[in-house]
Amino acid sequence: MALEGSILSEHIEGKLMIIGGAEDKEGECRILRHFVAEAGGRESRITVLTAATEYPRQVGAQYEQLFSRLGAKEVDVLDVCDRSQANSEGLVQQLNKATGVFFTGGDQLRITGLLGGTLAGRALHRLYERGVIIAGTSAGASVMSDTMIVGGEAGTPKKDTITMAPGLGLIRAVVIDQHFAQRGRIGRLLASVAQNPYVLGVGIDEDTAILVTENGEFTVVGSQTVTVVDASPSASTNVSESSPGQPLVLSPVFMHVLSEGYRFDLKRRVSLLNT
């Protein structure tokens, strides 16, 4: 599988924390605690981006409180609500102070619609390149990849099961789905990778995250599972000839179900079970 080097841009020094939604906010907060630690712990300056949500005040206040409680030095909530704001130097300067950026849930198209092709969008990429951790939950998880799932029904995988759109492109050749097992989304993830088996499908359960490191590997954090589907070995698919409502054919697909502490090499597409 000649996918070496294709997952992350070159010269990336940051990490991604991609969360499947509904992460624990009341108990141990393993995922959010991990994020704060990766962002610098007591030295961290965290920027919360509420662009995805229709309730930026409530959601912003909740994460501000949480990250402060978990020991962050400074927490800023930035509610970007139009593209001119996303193009302002002031916003970019605020972003540039961050040692960790956190995208809340909501609607992924609000994030890309507001930030895509703006100075703030570019600043995010630069932050990530120079070592800042970028995290996102739910819609904030979906936007991480170059193509993202924006909608689709549960059930039998079909061509018209899903709608896709261009994401932020922090990670390449991967498509992320969230609330994965809880909302029965295996069918729509398979439909996504069937369209181009070069793309690896990563389904993340609630209260579960992947921490993607500079070397193109991820580690699972949280209480549930991460499911990886790799359709590149598939000998055949009917995706191009099938009519919209027709069920897909994909065989074989390599699947990996991983829980906390397990690692996966996104470039070689293998789990690192014994290392």
**252 in contact with a second copy (CB under 8 A):** yes
Interhelix angle 89-96/119-129, rounded to 10 degrees, is 20
Residues belonging to the active site: 138, 179, 206
Quick one: 9 exposed, middle or buried, by C-beta within 10 A (0-12, 13-18, 19+)?
A: middle
Determine which residue in the list 67, 224, 266, 267 makes contact with a second copy, applying CB under 8 A. Answer: 224
Determine which residue in the list 17, 143, 248, 266 makes contact with a second copy, applying CB under 8 A. Answer: 248
Query: Residue 227 has which token pair?
Result: 């499911």
Determine which residue in the list 10, 236, 243, 244 makes contact with a second copy, applying CB under 8 A. Answer: 236
Q: Which among 194, 183, 202, 184 is positioned nearest to 142, based on CA atoms?
A: 202
* Binding region for a second copy (CB under 8 A) out of 10-18, 48-56, 96-104, 258-266: 258-266
- How big is the site for a second copy, counted in residues (CB under 8 A)? 39
DSSP letter string over 39-90? TTGGG-EEEEE-TT-S-HHHHHHHHHHHHHHTT-SEEEEE---SHHHHT-HH
Amino acid at 65: Q
State how far Cα 169 lies from the chain centre.
Answer: 10
Task: Tell me the per-residue interface mask from 103 to 142 with a second copy, x by CB under 8 A, - otherwise.
Answer: ----------------------------------------
Nearer to a second copy, 158 or 172 (CB): 158
**3 in contact with a second copy (CB under 8 A):** no
**223 in contact with a second copy (CB under 8 A):** yes
In the complex, the residues that contact a second copy under the rule CB under 8 A are 154-157, 181-184, 186-187, 190, 205, 223-225, 229, 235-236, 238, 246-260, 262, 270-271, 273-274
